[in-house]
Structure 1
Amino acid sequence: MTTTANTSHNIVFLDRDSLIANVRRPAFSHSWTEYGATAASEAAGRLAGASIAITNKVPLRADTLAQLPDLKMIAVAATGTDIIDLAACKERGIVVSNIRDYAYASLPEHTFALILALRRNLLAYRADVQAGQWQKSDKFCLFDYPITDLAGSKLGLLGYGALGHAVARLGRAFGMDILVHKRTPVEEEGIRSVSWDELLETSDVLSLHAPLNEQTRNIIGSTELARMKRSALLINTARGGLVDEAALAAALTTGIIAGAGFDVLVKEPPPEDNVLLNLHLPNFILTPHIAWASTQAMQILADQLVDNVEAFVANKPVNVVG
């Protein structure tokens, strides 16, 4: 725990170790306390007397908020706010701000790293080289796994916010046709709005960029996977709960779809028995929630986090959720 004493606002950062960046101190009178990590059961005690809470992944539910009469603002050090009971915050007059549009390079680049690795079967070929298969070949190269170009294929996007836009731009640079499904039709040159049915049934690569809520939870399950092309890839760098993990494991094991690249799981960190964690297939890539985490993106996040806090104290709150 690190504490800097001052007056006026009492700020507590519950999980400072989740952000590898320089977090400047706000330009107003305050005290600052930060903890490397905080268990959910410790949050109420550590936030006692705080007027501003900063959290990345420490949940703040109604029962915790009820114990914090001094709390006026929650600054979420991330885009997703499903860890916060927004209804309880509204009832108590607590302003919640989140981070927006900070990983506009990092996450799209990671998305395409997954797509390219899968479409070109890099994991399988790397394993063959390590196993000595190339060295034993009677040809100058190996043709054991299919390699397919991105050019001319259809990139389907569920959600079309800032990150969806950035992924679409990269897709167009690779010569892909861009299909988008969102609640309001997209009127943009080079983008085609499609129904949910068409998105599922025609996308060669389906990339998820939607928030997690009751409408989107498990939006991809066994029924949806069965409707996708057998040659299709499913990419999820958004939220783990968008996809039924058991259904995905079954689809990959039985060849319902060609492959998947995931950076997120329903529970993080995952338990040892997570079905995707134990899915050792060359057509599945799982990374540990790092698509957002380039050095540049984390510093943008840290700067915006303090901007949000300063705007709230100036009575001009920004990036307000709910």
Structure 2
Amino acid sequence: MKIVVLDSYCVRPGDLDWSRLHDLADVVEEYPRTPPEQLAQRLRDADFAVDNKCYIDETVLAACPKLRWVGLMSTGIDKLDLDACHAHGVAVANVPGYSTESVAQHTFALLLELANSIAGRDASVRDGYWQVDVPEQHYGIRPHFELAGRTFGVVGYGAIGRAVARIARGFGMRVLVYTRHVKPEYAADGVEFVPFEQLLEDSDVVSLHCPATAETRGMIDEAALAAMKPGAILLNTARGALVDEAAVCAALKSGHLGYYASDVAAHEPVRPKDGLLHCPNVLITPHVAWATEEALARLSAEVCANLEAFLQGKKRNLV
């Protein structure tokens, strides 16, 4: 049996441990990255694939008749054609929940940077300034504000949205939630479930935590932004496709939207010409919210456990 790891690391070489795979197959091939044009060639005689960023579709599957299982290094399943995989009898397993706490933490790292201008303050101290007479525009320093007493809106209440809501409550914030499905176990969370429109109107901070689907793509458009409070903050650690970036830029330039802080973009990696890079009050990180050391350790361990279960005839995290 042969396993091919199409993306052997996520952020830095060696940040994922694939040693367990060598106990499961006769041959394990690891590639740091796999260009699309080499995907079918590398999988042509593979029984199992571990995939992060490669799009496996009908064309690839038709050229790889031995392939039986694909282990995704993600919770989301939008990196392959799931219907085509099922049609070819290829099982697909994802890794739910491995990055919940990491993404929730990063969400508040973005918000706290906006609230306290930590990076700008640090830079100003290193240049000899202390508290007063700091050229704030030069360092990107903003007036500081407290989170306590403000209203935090969570769009999407899966594991990450729920973790973010818990942190927001810890800061003394009122938490509003929009979700299509309110479960009985949510009753003790201390949050308020409201329609999407009310969440936009009442929230000082709107944080996105839903998948990109036909219903949610572009949900933060010109109309949604217009419905938000003047000066509100929009956070996105979910998917770039949820946001109409041109509309966000327009709202930032007009001053209606206060800030946009995001770990994702409509086009990744972000290109120098992309509009968000040229808008005021934008904070962008390169889709790394999930990539803490702890989350990466869980990720590789879970992918290996998924394959072990499949080889034993068990259905573990199959989608």
Q: TM-score, normalised by structure 1?
A: 0.88
The structure 2 residue matched to 1:173, chosen from 167, 170, 174, is: 170
Look up the SS of the partner of 1:277 in the other structure: helix
Change (3 A) 1:129 1:231: farther
* % identical aligned pairs: 40
Give the distance between the partners of 2:193 and 2:26, measured in 1 at CA: 48
Contact 1:11/1:52, CA 8 A, preserved across alignment: yes
Give the structure 1 partner of residue 99 of structure 2.
Answer: 103
Contact 1:11/1:32, CA 8 A, preserved across alignment: yes
Change (3 A) 1:65 1:29: closer
Deviation, 1:194, is 0.8
Given the alignment of the two structures, is residue 24 of structure 1 paired with residue 19 of structure 2, yes or no?
A: yes
Give the distance between the partners of 1:306 and 1:135, measured in 2 at CA: 51
Give the distance between the partners of 2:272 and 2:122, measured in 1 at CA: 26
Give the distance between the partners of 1:226 and 1:123, measured in 2 at CA: 30
Contact 2:9/2:16, CA 8 A, preserved across alignment: no
Contact 1:81/1:98, CA 8 A, preserved across alignment: yes
The structure 2 residue matched to 1:10, chosen from 2, 8, 13, is: 2
Contact 2:102/2:290, CA 8 A, preserved across alignment: yes
Contact 1:11/1:54, CA 8 A, preserved across alignment: yes
Give the structure 2 partner of residue 40 of structure 1.
Answer: 36
My pick for the range that moved more, 257-266 or 144-153, is: 144-153
Look up the SS of the partner of 2:275 in the other structure: coil
Give the structure 2 partner of residue 260 of structure 1.
Answer: 260
- Flag structure 1 segments of 5+ consecutive residues without an equivalent: 1-8, 139-143
Residue deviations 1:233-291 (CA, integer Å, cap 9, x gap): 11111111111111111111211211011001122212221111333x3x221011111
Given the alignment of the two structures, is residue 55 of structure 1 paired with residue 51 of structure 2, yes or no?
A: yes
Change (3 A) 1:49 1:173: same
Look up the SS of the partner of 2:20 in the other structure: coil
- Flag structure 2 segments of 5+ consecutive residues without an equivalent: 135-140
Change (3 A) 1:58 1:182: same
Given the alignment of the two structures, is residue 157 of structure 1 paired with residue 154 of structure 2, yes or no?
A: yes
Deviation, 1:196, is 0.9
Deviation, 1:131, is 7.4
Q: What is the Cα-based RMSD across aligned positions, in Å?
A: 2.1
The structure 1 residue matched to 2:289, chosen from 288, 291, 310, is: 291
Residue identity opposite 2:171 in structure 1: F
Residue identity opposite 1:287 in structure 2: T
Residue deviations 1:22-64 (CA, integer Å, cap 9, x gap): 2232343432111111111211111001111111111112221
Change (3 A) 1:274 1:83: same
